[in-house]
Structure 1
């Protein structure tokens, strides 16, 4: 067999079911092998290399398996940069195959030549160039091992085109996979028993403990273990945006989102009042801590931090019990250490839940608003009424984020809200529903995005239509880069509309764009139209595009903690309507 055949056989051995990619000058060998090979992974042809990597990213977040993307050399590789950076910082296992120029062309002015390793090394977990076809098996094994072991991340392999044509004397043993590296985390590392024991004793003796689950809890599939521990010891669970989904939103111990963006006031209050906080897979970065100001460092709370990455632990504040280990495995050890304890119901939980009940009672006026243009939070509430229990919701950074994190309710334990949070690049949600669908076709994929995101990923509407992905696409149409427009008003408080620049563009009926690709589409201006469009869309098993004319996020302050404070609004007061 040749190098391309060997590559595909190894991917199949690792359980790879789908590859997302874009054809180009240098990946002809790979495509020829895909066409010839029986039982080859499904290949999804994308319209943009950025989208291919975003699809692989979301596939990995939903399935736990490494997402696989392939791109040609030159611009194809450059367009892969945003997705690799996001996946790596978000601890998502992903492997990008760059079909590179032939080796003899290096340094000779060959079209599309780029230093792939040097370009990707700063933003990936590992970048490597294959230099001999005989090294292909060990290179692939190393890629899967690094993508899934330790803190998961993104691995980039440059595969010179000529090596994929070269013959390889490959035996089944040579092309073997390492079974534990077929999903992440490949190895569940545990902290030392002695420090787990001391941390468990502190937890048992605390009066007001709180768990804060971050994205690492989701990457580790620690939700079931966290809920079991929380129920046993009556510990409330708050999450960051990327930690959402570890516990059902309707659970009595699920108190909501902490952090700057889309926060729940009762969750932020609880974080400030806790006498012990367990951070699980949370880097305690700027958003989760409101620029490292919350919880107050002088409130006397003990801090337990569980993380796989030693660079993360105690990086932003002092930690009493630093535990370097896998989230799920470490939480299971906490349960084993404390399962003999019998603790009564905590007044602490009752107090938080009374605040939570008051929050949801107070915001009902917002969630039932019939104003036109439709409020973004009203779109989320309508979605709540129509969402099937088994769903995955993908949201772009921007207009939909603070409203989805605050108001969306997911009750099925397998449902996820996925938002690319580290770099916040636009253009994620539409391709992401493709990745989510291939990872879990039994869950209905839903995309939330604004005008800016649509402009960057509209080409993938053709991919959705071609593949008949039954996604419900909800476009927040406000005719501008809404989040940036709002930020400009925040930063230039008092200047009103004059404080914004370079963020406006035309208002158009974007349902007509979906119609070009034969996608069922709806234009929505009223609540009645929105309910009708959602009802029809979820009744169908085909892609549907709902274009909703919404109030701009720049017209009324969204639930962003730092923005509210800048305008003199107490973020802890529920129901205050503040305008710019």
Structure 2
């Protein structure tokens, strides 16, 4: 067997259905081997290595399998850095195969020579160079084991081209796979005896308990378990940004999103006034705690954590309890231990108080959500999307860039269908991910409509992938928030008193014309009526991708719902009033 045949055989053995990538000089042997097994594994060509990485990232987020992508040597590897770093820090299992120059060329000035193993080492769980074709099966097994066990993350394999061309005696190797490592979580763990009893005692005895569901809950698909535990013990649930969608937004115990960006004031208020808080799958980082300045009443000695990674336990607060383990497994054990008919009367006053604040917030938000001001308000755009998604009545995979759509989508998006998943890459906040991510989301589950949300700055970084969407006939709905600026950065300029902003404005793209040039069905929406009509047609359009060019007010024109920004403008972020806040 050639090394390339071994590599493809192992990928198929691990259940890899699709490999995203970009062709190059060095990966020709890999492509030949893939072509020979075309009916068993598919290769999806992207137009840029970074895009291929975001496709794999979305695939990993929306399935329990690692996303796999490949790139050629040199610049291909360097372009792959941003998505790998994002996946690893976001605990998304991804495996990158860098097909590199032949080993004999090392140190001899060969074109595209680069020490890729060292390059990726700081941003992956494992980064190794393959130096023997006979070791390929062993290294592939280790790659899947590392990506899927413990805290999931990214793995990088640097595979010299001559390793793929080398002939290997099948009798000298084993092509077995570890079935436990085909999916995440591989080898899920539980805490030591007594820990869960102590945690349950804390939850039951508290008068104002709160559960905070983080991205780890979505990663382990533990939303139903969070919901069942909350219902049994009558405990309200908040989410972080990456935990959004843990439970239906119209559930009586679903309070809202905490933190800095796109927060709900009543959710942050709940975090401050709870007497016991259980964080599940959250590292309690700077966004969740607003730079470790909130809540004002310290969380010390009233917080517990459930997380698969013991290294992040009690890093920022003094925990009452630290529970290492897989979120879904631990929550199921807590459900089994909790009384079947738990008496929730002790917490009902607390639940009623939070629901009262929640109702007040949404009631006060009606004016913004129904505004017909020009340019189109982001809040109104979200209302249009909520209504269109509900009318569609089918599940979706929604992937939003970290820029313009984030604060208003996080605050006002309503997810009522548990099958619908919402993801935002929050580790590094890089732009240019959402458009290609719809490809990965589609291959993750073709029963769920892929939807990408991004600003015009992000659009300019990934526009070439429109061709990929058309070629693959992916029925993605692309929402372009168009206002001719890097709005988040421009808003920061103005927040710091610099109204004469520098280096942030550009010509707004003609989104509809650009999309149509790629044979993408497209519309332009400048008001709510046009957006409603375009969304209705977009959800009905299933013959390939479509794009709506939404001309929307910039978050640089009016302060978005960002806690720290509102504080800087002298406003009370915990107020449930829907006050418009200007920079000047």
TM-score interval (norm. to shorter): over 0.9
CA distance in 1, matches of 2:447, 2:182: 21
CA distance in 2, matches of 1:258, 1:386: 26
Bigger drift between 505-514 and 224-233 goes to: 505-514
Q: How does 1:323-402 map to 2 (within 5 A)?
A: 323-339=323-339, 342-345=342-345, 346-387=348-389, 388=392, 389-402=394-407
Counterpart of 1:485? 490
Could you say which residue in structure 1 is the equivalent of 2:535?
Answer: 534
Report the CA distance shift for 1:300/1:504 in structure 2 as closer, same or farther (over 3 A). closer
Q: 1:94-243 residue pairs with structure 2 within 5 A?
A: 94-170=94-170, 174-243=174-243
Deviation at 1:297, TM superposition (A): 4.7
Please list the CA deviations of residues 341-376 of structure 1 after superposition, one character each: whole Å capped at 9, or x if unmatched. Answer: 621341111111111111111101111111111011
Match of 2:442? 437
Please state how far the C-alpha of 1:336 moved relative to its aligned partner.
Answer: 2.3
Map 1:307-322 to 2 at 5 A: 307-322=307-322
CA distance in 2: counterparts of 1:384 and 1:340, whole angstroms: 35
3-state SS of 2:194 partner:
helix
* C-alpha deviation, 1:170, in angstroms: 2.6
Please say which of residues 296-305 and 18-27 is displaced more in the overlay. 296-305
Deviates more, 1:355-364 or 1:91-100: 355-364
Cα pair distance change 1:424/1:300, threshold 3 Å: closer
Distance 1:317 1:272 in 2: 14
Distance, in Å, in 2 between the alignment partners of 1:300 and 1:513 is 53
Q: Report if the CA contact (8 A) 2:141-2:177 is conserved.
A: yes
Distance 2:247 2:149 in 1: 25
Q: Indicate how the Cα distance of structure 1 residues 212 and 299 shifts in structure 2: closer, same or farther if over 3 A, else same.
A: closer
* Structure 1 stretches of 4+ moved >6 Å: none
Q: Distance in 2 between matches of 1:264 and 1:534?
A: 26
Task: Choose 469-478 or 287-296, whichever is displaced more.
Answer: 287-296
In structure 1, the gaps of 5 or more residues are none
The secondary structure found in structure 2 opposite 1:311 is: helix
- Residue of structure 1 in register with 2:523 after alignment: 522
Change (3 A) 1:531 1:291: same
For residues 341 and 528 of structure 2, the distance between their equivalents in structure 1, rounded to whole angstroms, comes to: 51
The CA deviation string for residues 8-63 of structure 1, in whole angstroms up to 9 with x for no partner, is 11111111111000000100001111112253311110000000000000001001
Paired residue total: 576
Secondary structure at the counterpart of residue 170 of structure 2: coil
Q: 1:42 and 1:171 mapped to 2: Cα distance?
A: 28
Query: Where does residue 77 of structure 2 map in the other structure?
Result: 77
> Residues 301 and 319 of structure 2 are in contact (CA less than 8 Å); yes or no, is this contact kept in structure 1?
no
Q: CA RMSD in A?
A: 1.3
Question: CA separation in 2, counterparts of 1:535 and 1:340?
Answer: 44
1:275, 1:300 within 8 Å by CA — same for their partners in 2?
no
TM-score (norm 1): 0.97
Conserved 8 A contact 1:266-1:356 = yes
- Choose the corresponding residue for 1:418, options 423, 429, 442: 423
Judging changes above 3 Å, is the alpha-carbon distance between structure 1 residues 236 and 407 closer, same or farther for their aligned structure 2 residues? same
Work out the CA distance in 2 between the residues paired with 1:341 and 1:535: 44
Q: TM-score, normalised by structure 2?
A: 0.97
Corresponding residue SS for 1:44: strand
Q: Is the 8 A contact 1:275 1:301 kept in 2?
A: no
Tell me the distance in 1 between the aligned counterparts of 2:3 and 2:173: 16
**Are 2:52 and 1:52 equivalent residues in the alignment?**
yes
Tell me how far apart the structure 2 counterparts of residues 333 and 304 of structure 1 sit (CA, whole Å): 16
> What are the ranges of 5 or more consecutive residues in structure 2 without an aligned counterpart?
none
CA contact (8 A) 2:433 2:462 kept: yes
Post-superposition Cα deviations, 1:463-509, rounded to whole Å, max 9, x if no partner, equal 0111111011010000010111001111x23x4x22x2100001232
